[in-house]
A = this chain, B = another copy of it.
């Protein structure tokens, strides 16, 4: 009993988007213990979609998972192609129609005839509700040994539908009895090869397995085990996680859904302290990162985006002479920015960032990727940190690394402060 993933969309064939949906679904199928041996990409074309369905069924697939082609426009053909292949009429579902009308009404938008198409389901199919958008999918037991699931191509809609409806449905059918469970450990301020060298023996383990990943400046280790339950898998995972955490020390910052933003937020909540910020080259990215955590209003006061030097002087009270003498991208300006933010907002802590995000503006003494971070509190702490992210990095990456690096430095200070 195997599954196949069928991604529908001419934009995939033209290379306009990356097929992240297949990766997500593949990982999810592995978690549930559902084998799948093939993935397919096909354009918005009824005959070719039918052909792919035919091939998948002929080579033994009993669960077909479609993404894409559920939208309101004429090139969205997945549902129609499926109905035609199984020679089943499409019927208008009143519940979906009412639901779509309501969503349009809520947003005071006119509903077009195109949207009505999204209410058509093959006779006998159930709705796979879409809590995040207008296009619902279907769950259709075409026959006892053939199940079809359809999802829109928009990743966050697809994922919400998978989590809320598809997983419980598949579990009710008996899947997910052997689970592959993972824990993701997250690290900042250490490179992949350095961390890998420190924990080399763990990569040889068979149960659980340990695998490294790198993205956006953070290193992650995934510890995975296959067992009869999540609890049993965790009993295999946890001792290994604890050993690795002990080796990594402060470079380990959190696990699973933790982000550097949520971890720093929790530390601030625990110590009942508040924070403000002063950003230059990141232009708002640090504030956005902090406030990406829901509930951040409990500790985040606000801050200043001082892109122009005049703003640094007028809004934060940076001394014009400091800028003249050391340049806007300097340790000294970072410190005065942080100090200014603490004073103006009366927060417990402030973080500042000033640097050269590029692509232009670099010179040999101050290359693109040079970033200074300042941290101040109301009392004795006034620290700066220099980062050289490398001039081969792009603007967006340098800004992201600066924002997460700044929060990571505050995290280390907050943990040190807690120590007796």
Query: Which residues of A approach B to under 8 Å, CB–CB?
Result: 10-20, 22-30, 36-43, 45, 48, 51-52, 55, 59, 71-75, 103, 106-115, 131-133, 154, 156, 180, 182, 191-194, 196-197, 203, 211-215, 222, 224, 276-277, 279, 281-292, 294-297, 300-308, 310-311, 314-315, 344-345, 358-360, 388-397, 399
For the residues of A in contact with B, the DSSP-based class is mixed
What separation, in Å, do the CA atoms of A108 and B392 have in the docked complex?
A: 15
The answer on a CB contact under 8 Å between B283 and A305 is no
Q: Which chain B residues lie closer than 8 Å to A39 at the CB level? A: 12-13, 40-41
Contact present for A27 and B16 (CB under 8 Å): yes
Q: Which residues of B contact A344 (CB under 8 A)?
A: 314-315
A194 to B315 CA separation, bound complex (whole angstroms): 44
Provide the residues of chain B in CB contact with A74, threshold 8 Å. Answer: 196, 203
The copy count of this chain in the complex is 2
Chain B nearest CB from A157 CB (Å) reads 10
Given A42-B38, A390-B107, answer yes or no on A24-B13 (Cβ-Cβ < 8 Å): no
Of B288, B304, B345, which one neighbours A288 at CB under 8 angstroms?
B288
Q: Do residues B28 and A37 form an inter-chain contact, with CB atoms below 8 A? A: no
Whether the pair A305, B284 counts as a contact (CB closer than 8 A) is yes
Interfacial chain B residues near A72, Cβ < 8 Å: 192-193, 196
Highest count of chain B CB atoms <10 Å: which of A191, A215, A285: A191
Q: Is the CB of A296 within 8 A of B284?
A: no
User: Does B283 lie within 8 Å of A287, measured CB to CB?
Assistant: yes
A253 to B11, CA, bound (A): 22
Chain B: CB-nearest residue to A24: B15
- A361 to chain B: closest CB distance in Å? 8
B41 contacts A22, C-beta separation under 8 Å: yes
Q: Is the CB of B19 within 8 A of A22?
A: yes
B302 near A388 (CB under 8 angstroms)? no
Q: CB-CB < 8 A to A303: which residues of B?
A: 284, 304-305
**Cβ contact of A390, chosen from B106, B203, B291, cutoff 8 A:** B106
B108 near A388 with CB under 8 A, answer yes
Give the residue of B48, B388, B394 whose beta carbon is less than 8 angstroms from that of A106.
B388
| A307 to B265 CA separation, bound complex (whole angstroms) | 15
Residues of B within 8 A of A287 (CB): 279, 283-285, 287-288, 305, 307
